[in-house]
Amino acid sequence: MAFKIIEGCVNCWACLPLCPSEAIREALPHFMIDARACTECEGDFADPQCASICPIEGVILDGLGVPVNPPGSLTGIPPDRWAEIRTQIQAR
């Protein structure tokens, strides 16, 4: 199985040089992972390097399609609280 980058990736380049399999490709509208090359870092690292460095929540999915850094995991802000705050800001 392989990891996948989805919409929301900001093309920041942080993950690309860390991949031990050279599976991450620069692309538009966002970077992508070559599924044939991704090893999920097995045998190289205990943690998937792309997901460990990625600063954006929810944009890297594991082989089962589950976000590795789900919403709230990096910021510590629960998704429903974040939606509430955004609504308040937009109402100003």
Residues engaged in binding ligand SF4 (CB under 6 A): 3, 5, 9-15, 19-21, 23-24, 31, 33, 38-41, 48-50, 53-54, 56, 59-60
Pick between residue 13 and residue 92 the one whose CB is nearest to ligand SF4: 13
Cβ at position 73, least distance to ligand SF4 in Å: 13
**How many CA atoms are closer than 13 Å to the CA of 85, on its beta-carbon side?**
6
- CA–CA separation, 66 vs 72, rounded Å? 14
Q: How far is the CB of 53 from ligand SF4 (least distance, A)?
A: 6
Cα–Cα distance, 52 to 18 (Å, whole number): 10
71, 65 Cβ separation under 8 angstroms: no
Which lies closer to ligand SF4 via its Cβ, residue 40 or residue 82?
A: 40
User: Which residue number, 10 or 85, has a Cβ lying nearer to ligand SF4?
Assistant: 10
CA 84 to chain centre: 23
Q: What are 60's strand-pairing partners?
A: 5
State the nearest-atom distance from the C-beta of 42 to ligand SF4, in Å. Answer: 8
